Structure 1
């Protein structure tokens, strides 16, 4: 029997041959999560899944900018006024985010949350925002203005009205932490799927690797290819459903935090690497960078693979992808 586990309806599917693993789907962090584990029975599986849910809920309380009581919200409230001491875990997450910002020359930036909303992808926009409005929208965006103090684990946003947010890496980080906890507790195999921010470990019940399908972003019924995923994360950023079009140019919902203009060269960018947090950040970055700059960037990184689908619906592989492992549908 062939059992399909749909990981991300727009871009991914995972399949398991033989006895299906145990899976629960629920809403966490405002998104759909699929938590899948391989266990000897339903009781053992439910205990493991409950542990994962508790960990993901803990992460949400730490990083949510919607929860006024979270440390992230406290940082944002005190922007331009004073530093805020935070837990070591949150401090280190912000540290890593800033490193990615430096590595990508600001294509990834958690201070994007400061951006004034001038682009709307709900059908309400009738004309292009002016250059002046777009430029003003990013005045308070800039990772360089996030000041960290290693000694007391404090975070200071230099500009009043500045904000940080973890929408681009939060679910990936939660998936990583849930996976790490379940591995520590002896769960031998599973998948944490945070609305497409996917992390896997172990194998299917029959001992074969989990498989991920790369879906045609213009035709969800069409699978471009299958790839094995072994103890690693897979994340896709995609644009084909949320966009506006002016003067025959398609502008997508993924916006360059440096300029305020939407990305426009890529339909989807899929990253394969060890952690969903890093994959999440890099997928967004590649989208903003564009095909050539993004591909060159990924080709310089160890342990990172990338598949880009460009505006012409052409699939482009990074040099690290082992094409012999791709199983065409």
Structure 2
């Protein structure tokens, strides 16, 4: 028997407990301490991290059936949507690069393209899954920390001149047409949100009404945590892996997603370059350390968190409003916290930040 410390959920400590390539599905019966109700905890290795599922007040057989389907679908998503290992997405990218006039795409990838194109437009191009070539140029299309020389200014300039974007693509049913061979799709800033949404759908289809899905720190919940709202812990971007900035209340159906510069980066010995790239400049973003958003779905929250990091300290409120996000918490490189009034109603800090500024979505500086 293992006690569950919910409703506060540590979102990131789990990632170090599971080998990267292992596929684990461990069912642990637990007791929800705050309500005395039975809870079950599952862990699956997928998308390069540990996916944790906590289910409350549901028969074990239903939980096990849902977990098998989630595990199977997550492994398939990882293989099919991988941007540089052989699979359907790589085949689509190769066809685009060859300049093929029409490209047949599978249903799942067509759905990714269709929704991400809408999110691209809402974010004014700051969320841009067409920049796989730029990510490769910087060495971030790799499962290991990038090494070697940084891309030259000339290489980045050539990429900018090609200006690949989601508007270069036209999708009719399952037929894709690209007008720009430089488009290389990489859904790394979005696919995890889609997967979390699918896991929630599967849980609901199996009659499960109270659960949390945590994919390496990105979370969506349904129901409640034993008569109380879920409390989602957010990592302190300047702290150790186990350091918590605070907790955010998440209501039924909501997603809490974070994008930050502290997990994946490269260094030239003097400066750290984050994997979050600005498609307008071709360079890693600066000044913003992390952005956490609360939204109605994982897919849109995932994309919005990335777009707001790119938008930066000055413009994030305007982009948040365009994307329909009213709960945002941003930490800049000086440690200052910026957030919306709606987020301020949800967050409890472990230690009061040195400086906090409230900004209303739509009102940029």
Query: Where on the TM-score scale, by shorter chain, does this alignment land: which range?
Result: 0.7 to 0.9
Distance 1:58 1:125, change over 3 A: closer
- What's the CA shift for 1:170? 0.8
The match for 1:81 among 71, 84, 100 is 100
Deviations 1:152-191 (A, max 9, x none): 4311233335321211111110110111121122111111
Distance 1:116 1:56, change over 3 A: closer
Distance of 1:74 and 1:140 partners within structure 2: 21
Distance of 2:75 and 2:41 partners within structure 1: 18
Q: Do the aligned residues in 1 keep the contact of 2:164 with 2:180 (CA within 8 Å)?
A: no
Distance of 1:116 and 1:136 partners within structure 2: 14
Q: Do the aligned residues in 1 keep the contact of 2:165 with 2:183 (CA within 8 Å)?
A: no
Name the SS of the counterpart of 1:200 in structure 2.
strand
Q: Which has the higher contact order (CA 8 A, sep 6+)?
A: 1
Distance 1:86 1:242, change over 3 A: closer
Distance of 1:292 and 1:39 partners within structure 2: 45
The corresponding residue for 1:326 is 347
- What's the CA shift for 1:129? 4.6
Distance of 1:63 and 1:247 partners within structure 2: 33
The corresponding residue for 2:249 is 228
1:253 pairs with 2:275: yes
Query: Bigger CA drift: 279-288 or 193-202?
Result: 193-202
Distance of 2:117 and 2:264 partners within structure 1: 27
Name the SS of the counterpart of 1:268 in structure 2.
strand
1:218 pairs with 2:238: yes
TM-score normalised by L of structure 1: 0.85
- What's the CA shift for 1:327? 2.8
CA RMSD of aligned residues (A): 3.0
The corresponding residue for 1:109 is 128
Q: Do the aligned residues in 2 keep the contact of 1:115 with 1:138 (CA within 8 Å)?
A: no
The corresponding residue for 1:23 is 41
Distance of 2:263 and 2:82 partners within structure 1: 26
Note the residue ranges of structure 1 that are not aligned, 5 or more in a row: none
- What's the CA shift for 1:82? 2.6
The match for 1:92 among 111, 131, 141 is 111
Q: Do the aligned residues in 2 keep the contact of 1:10 with 1:217 (CA within 8 Å)?
A: no
- What's the CA shift for 1:285? 0.8
The corresponding residue for 1:167 is 188
The match for 1:44 among 59, 62, 79 is 62
TM-score normalised by L of structure 2: 0.77
The corresponding residue for 2:197 is 176
Q: Do the aligned residues in 2 keep the contact of 1:233 with 1:279 (CA within 8 Å)?
A: yes
The match for 2:157 among 107, 113, 135 is 135
Q: Do the aligned residues in 2 keep the contact of 1:100 with 1:108 (CA within 8 Å)?
A: yes
Q: Do the aligned residues in 1 keep the contact of 2:131 with 2:183 (CA within 8 Å)?
A: no
- What's the CA shift for 1:243? 4.3
1:7 pairs with 2:26: no
The match for 2:337 among 301, 306, 315 is 315
